[in-house]
Chain A
Amino acid sequence: GENVEQHPSTLSVQEGDSAVIKCTYSDSASNYFPWYKQELGKRPQLIIDIRSNVGEKKDQRIAVTLNKTAKHFSLHITETQPEDSAVYFCAASNNNNDMRFGAGTRLTVKP
């Protein structure tokens, strides 16, 4: 089955700085790569996703890049704010009802 690895496990940045979280996946058949944000005590919620036919996608301060050849994808958050502090999960899936998550990155944005 798919195996998703995520780094770093914790990330601390100063408000206004950028944050980058990286993931790799093992199954070359995976074609959908979402990112979820989980605030303390809450459910994970989708913040952005990318499909395998696209190399980059941007939504305001967040962007994702995908390198299918290398089987890795990244989340970039620019101009970080304290409310960006949360645990972020990457995930990978193909058309098999099987969504696998990375181990999560705890992002802390210091004011």
Chain B
Amino acid sequence: DTAVSQTPKYLVTQMGNDKSIKCEQNLGHDTMYWYKQDSKKFLKIMFSYNNKELIINETVPNRFSPKSPDKAHLNLHINSLELGDSAVYFCASSQAGGVGELFFGEGSRLTVL
């Protein structure tokens, strides 16, 4: 059983389009995250949610809108895609507080043409 699963794994789209990435965890964790990993491999936190409540919103453009329908799901919707949005987006989950292991999904590679 996959602990943290995200879909799609690959996404190729044109500038200006809107796309979504879905994430689900079956670990019973309260906290979920979105990280962006650019071509230089830097893992930058975008959002964290604790039990459906937004905790961290790290100066991400408002074209990015996370949605957590329940504590097991955290989706990411991106409007008006730009070239600079091309990256690998990782979903992760942890026990509440974030002071335990982060379990990452496989990543979703977004390419904006």
Instruction: Report chain A residues within 8 Å CB of B27.
Output: none
Q: How large is the interface on A (under 10, 10 to 19, 20 to 34, 35 or more residues)?
A: 20 to 34
Q: Given that A43-B105, A49-B101, A96-B98 are known contacts, is A104 also in contact with B41, CB under 8 Å in the complex?
A: yes
Q: Given that A43-B106, A46-B102, A49-B101 are known contacts, is A99 also in contact with B42, CB under 8 Å in the complex?
A: no
Using a CB–CB cutoff of 8 Å, the interface residues on chain B facing chain A are: 31, 33, 35, 40-45, 48-50, 55-56, 58, 90, 94, 96-102, 104-107
Number of A-B contacts (CB under 8 A): 72
Instruction: Report chain B residues within 8 Å CB of A91.
Output: 102
- Shortest CB-to-CB span from B12 to chain A, Å, is 17
Nearest B residue to A41 via CB reads B107
Partner of A43, one of B31, B40, B58, B90: B90
* A32 to B95 CA separation, bound complex (whole angstroms): 13
Within 8 A of B (CB), among A69-86: none
29 A-B pairs in the complex with CB atoms less than 8 angstroms apart: A1-B58, A32-B100, A34-B101, A43-B104, A43-B105, A43-B106, A44-B90, A46-B101, A49-B101, A51-B99, A89-B43, A93-B98, A95-B97, A96-B56, A96-B97, A96-B98, A97-B49, A98-B48, A98-B55, A98-B98, A99-B33, A99-B45, A99-B98, A99-B102, A101-B42, A101-B43, A103-B40, A103-B41, A106-B41
